[in-house]
Structure 1
Amino acid sequence: MKILRSAAIAVALTGTAAISAAQPMRFPEKPVTFIVPFAAGSATDQLARALGVAFTEKTGQPVVVDNRGGAGGLIAAQAVARAAADGYTVLITTNTTQVANPYLYRKLPYDPVADFAPLTALGRGGQVLVVPAASPYKSVADVVAKARSQPGKLSFGAGNSSSRIAGEMLKQLSQTDILYVPYKSNPQALTDLLGGQIDLMVIDTVTGIPQIESGKLRALGASTQRRLSVLPKVPTLEEAGVKGYDIGYWFAAYAPSKTSPAVSARLRQLLVEAVHSPHAKTFFNSTGTEPWTTSAEELAQFQSAEATKWSKVIKAANIEPE
Structure 2
Amino acid sequence: MRVAAGLLIAGAVSAGVVVAAWAQSSAQPATSRSAGSAPTPPAAAAAPAAAPAPAAPAAIKNTCANPDALGVGRVVEIDTTGGPGFGFEHFKQLDFLRDKEVVLTFDDGPWPVNTPAVLKALGEECTKAIFFPIGKHATYYPEILKQVATAGHTVGAHTWSHANLNNKKLSEQQQIDEIEKGYSAVKWAIGGAPAPFFRFPALQHPPTMVTYLGNRNVAIYSCDVDSFDFRAKNADKIVETVMGKLDKNGKGIILMHDFQKHTAEALPQLLRKLKAGGYKVVHMRAKAQLQTIASYDESLAKDSKLPTVSARPVSSVVQTVAE
Higher helix share: 1
Q: What TM-score, normalized by structure 2, do the two folds share?
A: 0.28
Q: What TM-score, normalized by structure 1, do the two folds share?
A: 0.28
Structure number with greater Rg is 1
